[in-house]
A and B are shown apart, each in its own frame.
Chain A
Amino acid sequence: MTRHAATLLALAALALCTGARGQTATLARSAMVQVPGGVVALLFPVQGEELARVGPFAIDATPVTNSQFLAFVRTHPEWAKGSVPRVFADESYLGHWSDDGTLGSADPDAPVTHVSWFAAAAYCEARGARLPTEAEWELVARAGERLADGGSEPGQRERLLALVSSRSAVPGPVGRGEVNAYGVRDMHGLVWEWVFDVGAAMNTADSRNAGDRRLLLLCGGGASGATDPNDYAAFLRYAFRSGLSGDYTGGGLGFRCAS
């Protein structure tokens, strides 16, 4: 099945669900930000393609929240806490919500966490969107406070590292954290985020190289072959993504959509 067909199917399924329940409005759109695209130096570039080219796209200004995800679950009960098959989400899926599937003590405006890649992808599909690619996400993540290329802003690396390493145990509400030059918020200070092609940057045309890179990242080599060995926030992101499987649902991992 092609992705195109899959998208059509998703839209059809969405139309069925929402049409039956008339709850289209509850899948409230996050404000999206237009990003003109550009080139991004991934931490581990593909040989011969030192800069990944990214076309124009739109991305959510903030991570998807608990209340937004609750609205999705209500219209897509197959993604409810008690009914999702284990292959699509491990035991801690929506573990911070009440057992009855309501938010309980979870902050409605905080980013939804304890969501698997499958659940995140399904949410974005239901909105007619998708998860951002790793290159898209990284393009936005490297923006500075004033410049799209944050690398030329002094103190950028240290600022991002401080944001990532001082996250609170339970993420607070979205939209109050750092805002970058695109007008996108909370890329670093709240949660990790799923991307469509998890770990793509670790891949290369030569699979032996891909394995070598992954081992370097996991086995102490680390900076060998990296575009910027001093970008510790990037190392933390790539290492986190390199350890994920699609059913993983951790308390520090959320997502936002792109289109």
Chain B
Amino acid sequence: MRDERGNVGTGTLVGAAGFVVVLAAVLAVFGGRDATAAGPPVDPQVQHAFAEAPAHAAHDLTINAVWADRALRADPEDLMAVADLPVVQGVLGYAPHAAPPLARDYRAHVQVELEVVEKVMELADGVEYRFWTFGGAVPGPMVRVREGDYVTFTLQNHPSSHFPHNIDLHAVSGQGGGAEATLIAPGQQATFGFTALNPGVYVYHCATAPVGMHVANGMYGLIVVEPKEGFSPVDREFYVVQGDFYTRGDFGEPGLQEFDMLRAIDEDAAYVVFNGRVGSLTGDNALQAKVGETVRIFVGNGGPNLASSFHVIGDVFDRVWVEGGAIFNRDVQTTLIPAGGSAVVEFDTNVPASLTLVDHSIFRAFNKGAIGSLVVTGEQDPVVYSGRVDIRPYEPDAEAAR
């Protein structure tokens, strides 16, 4: 084990007999064993080096030119060394607010810090749950970078945590999407770097075993990699992530509800919710827009189990970036968002209405919580939608009798 051996090497400087004993024990345990046997190379000195200067393995390097040509469309800026990139702090967006558009047309070295916190929060009114979170929220905050950016990503596991955690960002090309590099026990942090090769909207999630339990407890969010040309400007951007929850008690049963493993394995969700809570997007929490605006919703699905038939009652998606990728479809009623997947939906608000966001697997909306509101206010347009213009008795039998 590389680091343990490094430690032992330092330890030999210490002469006390007690430490020699420990050293012998260390060699007995770790000596001659493969590097993977006794845990990952968690080396505090490496982390300190990162903290003092973001420079590391990639510092003086440019991306491999072959990949720059193919993946990043061969802009001259893609051939700059990481060290020459401007360093910017990543800006996060907490649901239902999307991280703000980047307003940046150049490549950067983005530094992102995300803290893992285990905390009890309400899953519904009067129903509490031990959430495992990125950033203290479900979903975790939206991370927004630009295609070609070099991202230095630091994951921190709060000392009060009971469990180890890590992060798999679907936008990352590399082992486990960063999961191997970021596995950390409570009270540790780990850093790795990656280039955002592919534009799109990607889920991130915890990938520590039992991965289903980590995801089921709320450990997911979105990382948006804006294409180089950026997204077209819109009036409103929102951030919505669906997730399913598996509690010992059925829907609405009050009190602190424990995770139910068998229920999760059976995919028998007690709750299917947007943004981590029944009512996160209803009542006072409803999304707001005005007539004549263009609304964009970054929609993710953390799962862990259920695909979402995402639909907005009372409007049509004018554009949907299918699966969060590069192609869009027009005039869509319901878009399927797989667990661990995403979509970007856009629509113009034509008339005032209380639009309803649902998973159109409709029992989930009606009985398990997958429902939200987008309240559109403004001028009526009776040609687009007249509202009721008449009501009267309908008596087909009476008509026939005459």
Question: Which residues of A192-229 have CB atoms within 8 Å of chain B's CB atoms?
Answer: 196-200, 202-203, 207, 210-211, 214-220, 222-223
Known: A6-B21, A122-B18, A219-B179. A251 touches B159 (CB 8 A): yes
| Listed stretches B2-10, B58-66, B69-77; interface member | B2-10
Partner of A122, one of B22, B38, B259: B22
A131 CA to B19 CA, complexed, in Å: 17
Question: Which residues of B25-64 have CB atoms within 8 Å of chain A's CB atoms?
Answer: 25-30, 33-34, 36-44
* A contacts with B: majority SS: helix
- B21 near A218: Cβ-Cβ < 8 Å: no
Bitwise interface map of B from 301 to 313 toward A, beta carbon under 8 Å scored 1, else 0: 0000000000000
Partner of B183, one of A121, A243, A246, A248: A243
- A78 near B209: Cβ-Cβ < 8 Å: no
Partner of B175, one of A215, A239, A243, A244: A215
- A203 near B183: Cβ-Cβ < 8 Å: no
A90 CA to B183 CA, complexed, in Å: 17
Query: Which chain A positions have C-beta within 8 A of B124?
Result: none
- B208 near A218: Cβ-Cβ < 8 Å: yes
- B187 near A250: Cβ-Cβ < 8 Å: yes
- B24 near A1: Cβ-Cβ < 8 Å: yes
A90 CA to B189 CA, complexed, in Å: 13
Could you tell me how many residues of chain B have their Cβ less than 8 Å away from some Cβ of chain A?
65
- For B213, the closest partner residue in chain A by CB is A232
Could you tell me how many residues of chain A have their Cβ less than 8 Å away from some Cβ of chain B?
68
- A251 near B160: Cβ-Cβ < 8 Å: yes
Instruction: Name B's A-contacting residues (CB within 8 A).
Output: 3-4, 7-8, 10-11, 14, 16-30, 33-34, 36-44, 130, 159-164, 166, 168, 175-177, 179-180, 183-188, 207-213, 258-259, 261-262, 265
Contact sample, A vs B, 5 pairs, CB 8 Å cutoff: A1-B24, A214-B36, A219-B179, A245-B38, A251-B187
Instruction: Name A's B-contacting residues (CB within 8 A).
Output: 1-3, 5-6, 9-10, 12-13, 76, 78-79, 85, 87-88, 90, 92, 118, 121-122, 125, 157-158, 161-162, 164-167, 169, 196-200, 202-203, 207, 210-211, 214-220, 222-223, 230, 232, 235-236, 238-248, 250-253
